[in-house]
Structure 1
Amino acid sequence: MGSSEHAHLAWARPSCWDGQAFDGGWSTPLASSQDVIEPATGRPLWRTGLASVADMQAAIGRAQAAQPAWAATGARERAAILLAAAQAFEQHFDELALAVARETGAILPKGQHEVREAIVLCRIAAGLPMQAQGQVLPSTPGRLSLARRVPHGVVGVISPFNFPLILGLRSVAAALALGNAVVLKPDPRTPAAGGYLMARVFEEAGLPPGLLQVLPGDGVAGEALVTDARVPMIAFTGSPAVGRRIGELAGRHLKKVSLELGGANNLVVLDDADLDAAASAVAFGAWFHQGQICMASNRVLVHESIAAALQARLVAKAQHLPVGDGASGQVALGPMIDAKQLARFDAIVQDTVRQGATLEAGGTHEGLCYRPTVLSGVRPGMRSFDEEPFGPLVNLVTFGSDDEAVALANRSEGGLAAAVIGRDVARALALGERLNAGMLHINDQTVNDECTNPFGGPGLGGNGSAVGGPADIDEYTRWQWVTVKAAPPAFPF
């Protein structure tokens, strides 16, 4: 690939990460390399290194060596570097947004959204060191008793392919701000958006070398990170299947783990809803970024009296939304991330039809571009009801009463987000409060995150914990009890 192909990345410089890890610089080779394929074109975007177990172990050692000095660095100095990172994201906004869009197969507004949120995440993280880090506890006279928050040490972060910049940085920024070093393993399909672009930003912001290690790698490299005794915390965003494995390994090694997974997200449309507004919300919640979102509106539970009218509106939208190269600026949906992901999604759609659902729109694809799809008559026991599709799918599930809607929605192992749409806000809220979800939205769809909110969910949503906003100090530090006396007392021994 010649320099002209990377003209849009004049600052990011893909040549930096061709076969290299980031450890504060770009001179540490990784065990192997591979091309990163642009989903929209099928052509190589750039080359990236792939970490071996030995590469991962070496990176952990570098991070561990750098961390104590960083933890001893003043709060204002740490905050200043996070603010400088936010400024770097702003200065290179257009270049970074296009790179994210191209690598993730997204429309350009999605790439822009990731960079905008990255700016906010860095600014929020910059405030963390400046907050109170503990409290004074009651104790006996003559003894000062403190409970303070201290860094874990090295935090391992494993980021996914769908929103790699946001979902990696939300852990990286907070963990660094609170005095940890970070070893980041992005998904090898999105190593730039999920790691190397962050590395360039923190390099420019003046982060001391060693504190951020970036190494794309496969599951073997990820397992090496999860099982290494020098890494007391793992933050993972991804599939429930991999999350279960990481939770099992982390538990065996007595590590703290933050899992943000997926599961069933339910959007309930009540019989008093504004149908045009509801259809718009459903379409966005189910089809934005090809449905490859952990908060996507997987199940649309609609009152039977309005189901036909809502379905007609959704079918019309599905038939008219253009699909293609997201970076072109001419389409609403881009390609799915790769052929494996598309094949799994297509199998879910086709199996659900065989199980008795009706295909109302979509169900076809050209290359990796899958048409927005509508299934009606979806019920429990069908694949698209029971599994998280992770593709552009509206599952229409009808109900006759609020109690039935709650029962249907809660037929799952948990989920991240739920939403209820209806004009009677008190009724919608009462129903929503009965749903088993980590986040609840009234008169909205399920894809919401403002960075200032705790983000997480029970069961398949994760492990019941949350990251973001007020949850970050709890996640990325631990308690330490400290007592101080003027002199040692006399003891009876």
Structure 2
Amino acid sequence: MLKPLCEQNGIPVYGLYVNGQWVASAQEVLAPDHSPADNTLIAYVHQASAIEIEAALHSAQRAAKDWAATLVATKEALFFRLREVILARRTEIQQLLIRESGSAFKKALWEIDYVVDLIQTMVGEIRRIAGETMPTTIDGRVSLSFRQPLGVVLGICPFNSPFLLTMKKVVPAVAAGNAIIIKPSEETPLSGLLIADLFDEAGLPPGVLNVINAAVSDVSPALTEDARIKAITFTGSTRTGRLLAEGAARGLKRITLEMGGKGPLVVLRDADLDAAVRAATFGAFLHQGQVCMAGSRVIVDASLHDVFCQRFVERAQNVRVGPPEQEDTVVGPLIRLSQCAFIAGQIEDAVSKGAIVQCGGTYEGPYFAPTVLSDVTPDMRIYHEESFGPVVSVLRAHDTQDALRLANDTAYGLSAAVMTENLRDAWYFAQNIEAGMVHINDSTISDEPHVPFGGVKNSGFGREGGRYSIEEMTELKWVTFQTGKASFPF
């Protein structure tokens, strides 16, 4: 059980995790952590000062050297223990995700199951971190390559799936032999601290994982530009990602960015309509639409548009909205009340320019009703802006070429999906949609721990998952051996 340092007026106060110890901020600056469902004050969390940041950097750099030299079998054993710790504390993790991030009951369990699968995947990858031998044109030379850990990695994590998406950074970094410093979202600080507690119980050596809670603006220059940080991995908004990329460029650091999305679900004229409606519903409303892969644009062939809208609206109106702890809830609270006002503003702008609200469009407290808009056009904010809420725009495509044009008419390029029974059209869209991931006859929301997850355009660059994470978090070194005497031209 994650234990607080103390209490303040009956509210638990949590510290930072530095060098295997739970510590308070030297400046004793506390930030409140509220439940998005009812705004209940859950906890106070210490915010890192320059002292804790320096301590985390120092301990991570020191620990990285020993961890890199640790035997593969020892690393595997650590992850086997971690898996058992997570399974034993499954209910605790689920309850924290529900309470702190507003995750619905089943979505929280899905996060945990994914992480267990992720750990099993990375255990398999640990023994496959390899280079290669290669031919050479020089007599007596043996030429080969191998991979080495980078050293210290910085992970900056989001609020929407705080357990899963933080573990997608920590587990591969540690498996590859690095130390890592995690900066959780300001909205979900306890989820990051819980991950440290799980690793601590599993026996991870001090310093290999450090957790620093603070606003990105407070820690960004101190961490992103420090020479001890060798790579940055970020999931979050495009605006923040761009700022981090600028800082990484100044320090010539490797960076992986997984940012926003405006995912298209394309429904062609030969699509299975029922399957398309189900895919659209799942892609639009999972976790209140607070998913970077969300299918927030459904592009439907004109011949199916009206009947699709009718069936989609019927299904959307039956999506269960309610408290996240209830097992049948699909749409729970948005992470903050201000997000509801932001989405309402997008809808108001769209309606003023001719869009039609087919259902939803209202909210009560932090609960936004599943919303379907039609007649959305490029002059509307919602056509271009990410909503990060349970709102979807249905667009009419005149033909296949027009559907592709609409799919690509966005600054984002993370995930896309196409509903069709025509193999030629499926392959055409797979090749030509500007997205890092394309799913045929499925939702835009899809992920597995071993696949190359990532986007293009304003959705980012670099890939996470399996060996792709290992490649991002290691350095490839070329080595030659001269078995005889080398000859030189002078």
Query: Which residue number corresponds to residue 115 of structure 1?
Result: 112
CA–CA distance in structure 2, aligned partners of residues 14 and 271 of structure 1? 57
What amino acid is aligned across from residue 395 of structure 1 in structure 2? S
Alignment of 1:251-290 (within 5 A): 251-290=249-288
Q: Secondary structure at the match of 1:328?
A: coil
Runs of 4+ in 1 over 6 A off after TM superposition: 490-493
Preserved contact between residue 134 and residue 147 of structure 1 (Cα < 8 Å) = yes
Residue ranges of structure 2 left out of the alignment (5+ in a row):
7-11
Query: Which residue number corresponds to residue 129 of structure 1?
Result: 126
Q: Secondary structure at the match of 1:101?
A: helix
Alignment of 1:57-456 (within 5 A): 57-139=54-136, 140-193=138-191, 195-219=192-216, 220-456=218-454
Query: Which residue number corresponds to residue 457 of structure 1?
Result: 455
Preserved contact between residue 265 and residue 416 of structure 1 (Cα < 8 Å) = yes
Preserved contact between residue 425 and residue 442 of structure 1 (Cα < 8 Å) = no
CA–CA distance in structure 2, aligned partners of residues 365 and 167 of structure 1? 28
Preserved contact between residue 420 and residue 429 of structure 1 (Cα < 8 Å) = no
Query: Which residue number corresponds to residue 21 of structure 1?
Result: 16
Preserved contact between residue 375 and residue 396 of structure 1 (Cα < 8 Å) = yes
CA–CA distance in structure 2, aligned partners of residues 431 and 141 of structure 1? 49
CA–CA distance in structure 1, aligned partners of residues 236 and 176 of structure 2? 24
Q: Secondary structure at the match of 2:229?
A: coil
Preserved contact between residue 24 and residue 210 of structure 1 (Cα < 8 Å) = yes
What amino acid is aligned across from residue 254 of structure 2 in structure 1? K
CA RMSD, aligned part only? 1.9
Q: Secondary structure at the match of 1:18?
A: strand
Q: Secondary structure at the match of 2:44?
A: strand
What amino acid is aligned across from residue 126 of structure 2 in structure 1? P
Q: Residues 86-128 of structure 1: CA distance to partner in whole angstroms, max 9, x if unpaired?
A: 2211111122112112211111111101111111111212222
Preserved contact between residue 18 and residue 52 of structure 2 (Cα < 8 Å) = no
Preserved contact between residue 234 and residue 256 of structure 1 (Cα < 8 Å) = yes
What amino acid is aligned across from residue 28 of structure 1 in structure 2? V
Preserved contact between residue 185 and residue 222 of structure 1 (Cα < 8 Å) = no
Cα 1:316/1:14, change in 2 over 3 Å: farther
What amino acid is aligned across from residue 27 of structure 1 in structure 2? W
Residue ranges of structure 1 left out of the alignment (5+ in a row):
1-10
Deviation for aligned residue 1:428: 2.9
CA–CA distance in structure 2, aligned partners of residues 491 and 428 of structure 1? 56
Bigger drift between 78-87 and 423-432 goes to 423-432
What amino acid is aligned across from residue 116 of structure 1 in structure 2? D
Query: Which residue number corresponds to residue 471 of structure 1?
Result: 468
Q: Secondary structure at the match of 1:480?
A: strand
Preserved contact between residue 417 and residue 444 of structure 2 (Cα < 8 Å) = yes
User: TM-score when scaled to structure 1?
Assistant: 0.93
Preserved contact between residue 16 and residue 22 of structure 2 (Cα < 8 Å) = yes
Q: Secondary structure at the match of 2:406?
A: helix
CA–CA distance in structure 2, aligned partners of residues 317 and 78 of structure 1? 47
Q: Residues 309-335 of structure 1: CA distance to partner in whole angstroms, max 9, x if unpaired?
A: 111122222323232211122422100
Query: Which residue number corresponds to residue 479 of structure 2?
Result: 482
Preserved contact between residue 288 and residue 330 of structure 2 (Cα < 8 Å) = no
Preserved contact between residue 24 and residue 203 of structure 1 (Cα < 8 Å) = no
Cα 1:427/1:143, change in 2 over 3 Å: closer
Preserved contact between residue 172 and residue 466 of structure 2 (Cα < 8 Å) = no
What amino acid is aligned across from residue 392 of structure 2 in structure 1? V
Q: Could you tell me the percent identity over the aligned residues?
A: 38
Deviation for aligned residue 1:211: 0.5
Deviation for aligned residue 1:255: 0.4
Q: Residues 212-262 of structure 1: CA distance to partner in whole angstroms, max 9, x if unpaired?
A: 001111022134221111101000000011111111111111000000012
CA–CA distance in structure 1, aligned partners of residues 350 and 222 of structure 2? 38
CA–CA distance in structure 1, aligned partners of residues 141 and 76 of structure 2? 32
CA–CA distance in structure 2, aligned partners of residues 315 and 364 of structure 1? 15
Bigger drift between 27-36 and 357-366 goes to 27-36
Bigger drift between 97-106 and 63-72 goes to 97-106
CA–CA distance in structure 2, aligned partners of residues 169 and 14 of structure 1? 22
Q: Secondary structure at the match of 1:254?
A: coil
Deviation for aligned residue 1:423: 2.7
Cα 1:441/1:88, change in 2 over 3 Å: same
Bigger drift between 290-299 and 322-331 goes to 322-331
Preserved contact between residue 230 and residue 254 of structure 2 (Cα < 8 Å) = yes
